[in-house]
Structure 1
Amino acid sequence: MTDTTQATAAASGASATEAFRAKQRSEAAVSQERVSTLATEVITAVHDVIRRHKVTYAEYDALKAWLIGVGQDGEWPLFLDVWIEHVVEEVANENRQGSKGTIEGPYYVPESPRHEAEATLPMRADEPGTPLLFQGQVRAVDGTPLAGAHVEMWHADDDGLYSQYAPNLPKWNLRGTVVADAQGNFRIHTIQPAPYQIPTDGSCGKLIAAAGWHAWRPAHLHVKVSAPGHQLITTQLYFQGGSHVEDDIAQAVKPELILDPKPATSGKGNEVTYDFVLDPVEV
């Protein structure tokens, strides 16, 4: 990877923080009782860790310095999405009957260019990587095809970099929203992404180094699928046999989300079929 394509923790952290602040979020009021319960239990859990492990003042000061550094680096979205979000997603979607979801991650950008049911994601003329045809159908849990469903996809390139979070990539590179046809079918032409390390030159990297962990995520496709009257599903799809599928730092891999691409019938690259089943909106 050349210096001109390096993505620094500070730059990607700032972009992730800015994107989160711009994101439309539920502002539903939370009761004081709920806040008190959650905050008290989190703080009590920290107290328990301190007592059980006899945390020293030197370790306490190191924690304070690290927490300050996470904020200064703009890496709170990265930290929370890598180490915390997978449990929030697990709890939030535990009653779904349809397709499995997983974490959104910090690199989502809304309002990507819209395309017809068969489309090629925006990419450079000489985009490196193995061509991939990702196709399937969007259905309701009762099997009804969902005409006009939106299949929103984004992913890293062959260097493990995301557009809008790394320099010198076109704005919408490998990002797009495909509108399914009358039978809920879609065909998306893209390239297979590469595994990548989360940025390690910032505070999250310091934690990884201090703990002796690895910083790798397996190659994956990010997808959001939606249709009127149905619950949005946010997921990531991985590749069978890929590096770090078994030890993803974000702990986001589920067996149902592992793809097994085969050589494409066109003779160019690989192809895979994966259907999405959406739950009805809860009333």
Structure 2
Amino acid sequence: MTSTEQKSPSAAGSGASATEVFRASRASTDAEGAVAAERVDEVARAVLTAVHDVIREKDVSYPEFQAVKQWLMDVGEGGEWPLFLDVFVEHVVEEVAARTQQGTVGTIQGPYYVPDQQRLPSPAALPTRPDEKGDTLVFSGRVVDLDGNPVAGAELDIWHADGQGYYSGFAPGIPAGNLRAVVVADDAGRFEITTVAPAPYQIPTEGPTGKLIAAAGWHPWRPAHLHLFVQAPGYRRITTQLYFQGGDWLDDDVAEATKPELVLDPQRGDDGRLHSEYDFVLEPA
């Protein structure tokens, strides 16, 4: 067994962690208010009608129905609903939200966010282990408004997988907060973040989500990416991911979250490190 296989997180473990993080973050946003009964009725009826139509169109049998029922139970018991919904559904919710948004293009958040990370002034280096594997990446740019004016003190909440495709907080043996931080841009809206280039990764596959992927003949891979929230008072927060030109699975992401506007093209500098720049544009809230 390789060292990668030994430290690979289980689907149940990753799913449970994602569930706990979601519940904690959701508790802080419950004050946003309940959804109106009319809206619940409208959306719930539409979802049920769509399910009914699929059953009729595909001649779903009783054994197939019972298998789906068992699978739904397994997803809940395994704590994998955040994993499944973020991988297979969130990109469409984001697509709808983007219809009325300006500024930098967004994409999905994903299930591996952990709030309340260390705040660091720019230029900053993300927390890493002494023996962190992977190419050093220097990621820099500016945060500006729609008119190109700098957004002083903008915050970049950044997190990503390590050089083997694992996230701190969701895989054993990785220190809490590794490759995670909130970086504060300077008065000119500039930021510089030194980290390591992340690797592509498989979503956990031995749980019910993985069983669905295997049964359907799909692959479980996501391309390498950086996750970011970019925000400042008075502006809409951007939720996005940045990918890497030529990376594996860039054109075949299991989560269907990649966009051409979000692809970096890092170049190796004279210092031997990879360098990439990207500017973020915030719109008024």
TM-score strictly above 0.5: yes
* Partner residue of 2:279 out of 272, 275, 280: 275
Contact 1:4 1:168 in 2 (8 A): no
Distance 1:40 1:95 in 2: 25
Contact 1:152 1:223 in 2 (8 A): yes
Distance 1:89 1:133 in 2: 28
Q: Deviations over 1:78-131 (max 9, x none)?
A: 000000000111111222220000000000011110101101000011100010
SS in 2 for 1:248: coil
CA-CA distance at 1:269 after TM superposition: 2.2
Aligned to 1:58: 63
* Partner residue of 2:92 out of 74, 87, 91: 87
* Partner residue of 1:199 out of 204, 210, 214: 204
Distance 1:97 1:168 in 2: 40
SS in 2 for 1:46: helix
Aligned to 1:5: 7
CA-CA distance at 1:264 after TM superposition: 2.5
Aligned to 2:39: 34
Distance 2:59 2:223 in 1: 36
Matched, 1:230 2:235: yes
Q: CA RMSD in A?
A: 0.9
CA-CA distance at 1:183 after TM superposition: 0.1
* Partner residue of 2:258 out of 234, 253, 261: 253
> Normalising by the residue count of structure 2, what TM-score does the alignment of the two structures yield?
0.96
* Partner residue of 2:54 out of 41, 49, 63: 49
Aligned length: 280
Distance 1:171 1:211 in 2: 35
CA-CA distance at 1:4 after TM superposition: 4.1
* Partner residue of 2:17 out of 15, 34, 45: 15
CA-CA distance at 1:38 after TM superposition: 0.2
% identical equivalent positions:
57
Q: Deviations over 1:203-227 (max 9, x none)?
A: 0000000000000000000011001
Aligned to 1:190: 195
Distance 2:267 2:37 in 1: 53
Matched, 1:216 2:221: yes
Distance 1:161 1:122 in 2: 15
Q: Can you give the 5+ residue segments of structure 1 that lack an aligned partner in the other structure?
A: none
CA-CA distance at 1:31 after TM superposition: 1.2
Distance 1:168 1:257 in 2: 31
CA-CA distance at 1:25 after TM superposition: 2.4
Distance 1:255 1:28 in 2: 35
Contact 1:133 1:264 in 2 (8 A): no
Deviates more, 1:1-10 or 1:211-220: 1-10
Contact 1:218 1:244 in 2 (8 A): yes
> Normalising by the residue count of structure 1, what TM-score does the alignment of the two structures yield?
0.97
Q: Deviations over 1:172-192 (max 9, x none)?
A: 100011100010000000000
Contact 1:197 1:215 in 2 (8 A): yes
CA-CA distance at 1:54 after TM superposition: 0.4
Q: Can you give the 5+ residue segments of structure 2 that lack an aligned partner in the other structure?
A: none
Q: Deviations over 1:26-49 (max 9, x none)?
A: 442211111000000000000000
SS in 2 for 1:247: coil
* Partner residue of 1:154 out of 119, 144, 159: 159
Aligned to 1:130: 135
